[in-house]
Amino acid sequence: MAAVYSDGPLGVFALSGAHASLVWYNTPNDVKRLLALDDDAFSRALHDQFPSCLGKIDAILERGFFPLRRQHAHRYVDDGVALVGDAAHMIHPLAGQGVNIGFLDAAALSACLLDAQDHSDFYSMAWLARYEKERRHPNLLMMQSMDFFYRAFSNRVLPIKLLRNIGLGVAGRLPFAKEHVMRLAMGIEGRLPELSRRVG
């Protein structure tokens, strides 16, 4: 079989014990080829692509795939309804930000409901609109940022690769810039819901 090269980032998400979830971004055609492999051939393909520091993969418990798409609800709220997390937005999983912004959504909605708890119309648009106003713009900004990074890092056009590498080199020499980006990625920088700041 011809080699299957990743067409995007690789992800490793630790689970309990010695288990992990491996995420392999690829083209639709290569995904079909990978899914058609038996476990031994698929394991060899994983070892070829993922860093050797992960060690030997002893067993593959399950395989699955889903198409990547970006979606964003036009509205987060209506009377008696509030969309949170993946129900409100689907983001490119490049840096695992989907769960982070979902937690921030939950914190912002909880704060709105706590403020409205003494009112019989706590579930009305009058109260829920504040949640949407607080979260929709930051979520859109994060979605656009992840799209930008994905397109920058997956692009094979030489001038763009050179600009990307120069930018990374400059950023690596500016500790304050690197720290700021890391804090944004961890969800502990910028305009945060009050409840999330208390937890952090």
pLDDT digits (tens, 9 = 90+) for 144-187: 877 777 777 666 667 766 776 676 666 667 666 667 666 666 55
pLDDT the model gives residue 163: 73
What's the whole-number mean pLDDT along residues 94-116?
87
Q: What is the pTM of this model?
A: 0.66
Q: Which letter does DSSP use for residue 94 in this model?
A: G
Average predicted confidence (pLDDT) for the chain: 80
pLDDT the model gives residue 8: 63
DSSP character string of 112-156: HHHHTTTSTTTTSHHHHHHHHHHHHHHHHHHHHHHHHHHHHHH--
pLDDT the model gives residue 74: 94
pLDDT the model gives residue 167: 66
pLDDT the model gives residue 50: 87
Share of the chain above pLDDT 90, in %: 26
Tens of pLDDT along 119-139?
888 889 989 999 999 999 999
List, in sequence order, every residue forming a beta bridge with 82; answer none if it has no partner: 77
pLDDT at 38 over 80: yes
* Token pair for 148: 């930008």
Query: Do 159 and 152 touch, CB atoms closer than 8 A?
Result: no
Q: How many CB atoms lie within 10 A of CB 128?
A: 22
